[in-house]
Amino acid sequence: MDVDPGDEAQLEALTRFVDRARVHDDPDAFALTLEDTRNDARYGGDLHPARHCLVLDDGVLVGHVWMHVPHLDNLHLVEAGITIDPDRRGRGLGSRVLAEVERRTRSLGRTTLWIGTADDAEATKGFLGRRGFALATRDARRHQRLALVDAGEVDRLEREAAEHARDYVVERLQPP
């Protein structure tokens, strides 16, 4: 079932579901907020929103799929994510969902399906590997907790950098 970006109840259920799986699978990942879910469903990262689908079993949310289809570049690509309820894994649901994602990718005329997972998610990497997927890239995840940043050290580093960058201007911009 496609998620309606204007349906707050669907967005809230989706946020709770995906974040529960995140806690199980990748507790160091950023927590998902309702605002994150809402913005992605409405705008996407490039004003071309991802398509979010809920996987239901007798009305119970058991999975989530998102697919982003680039419109400006990478026209061969579909980027997707699949989340299956941790309590329902190993029963074939993920295989059926992945088959549908592959079918939709082909129907769009795209030749590359890119699915991300945490580097230490061995079960997921094994699942994807058994279906012909191979590691394509690695992303670094860095968290900066602003409450722990030493403001004095930041000021010192800025002064030191300014000495070496007299021909540059540092501007702090406020996003719209």
Q: By C-alpha distance, which of 8, 27, 100, 33 is closest to 63?
A: 100
**Tell me: the pLDDT tens digits for 59-69?**
999 999 999 99
The answer to whether residue 120 is domain-embedded is yes
Cβ partners under 8 Å of residue 95, min gap 6: 131
pLDDT at 116: 86
Kindly report the number of other CB atoms within 10 A of residue 51's CB atom. Answer: 16
Cα 86 to Cα 25: distance, rounded to the nearest angstrom: 8
Q: By C-alpha distance, which of 36, 1, 2 is closest to 16?
A: 36
How much is the pTM?
Answer: 0.77
pLDDT at 57: 92
CATH number of residue 43's parent domain: 3.40.630.30
pLDDT at 119: 79
Task: Report CA Rg, the chain.
Answer: 20
Domain span at residue 98? 8-142
Nearest-10 crossing angle of helices 8-25, 34-42: 120
The answer to whether residue 167 is domain-embedded is no
Which band of pLDDT confidence, cut at 50, 70 and 90, is reported for residue 136? confident
**How close are the terminal C-alpha atoms of the chain, in Å?**
33
The answer to whether residue 153 is domain-embedded is no
Q: How many domains does the chain have?
A: 1
Tokens 């950023």 -> residue:
30
The answer to whether residue 31 is domain-embedded is yes
**Tell me: the pLDDT tens digits for 96-117?**
999 999 999 999 999 999 998 8
Mean pLDDT of the chain: 91
Q: Do 103 and 113 meet the contact criterion of CB atoms below 8 Å apart?
A: no
Cα 158 to Cα 67: distance, rounded to the nearest angstrom: 41
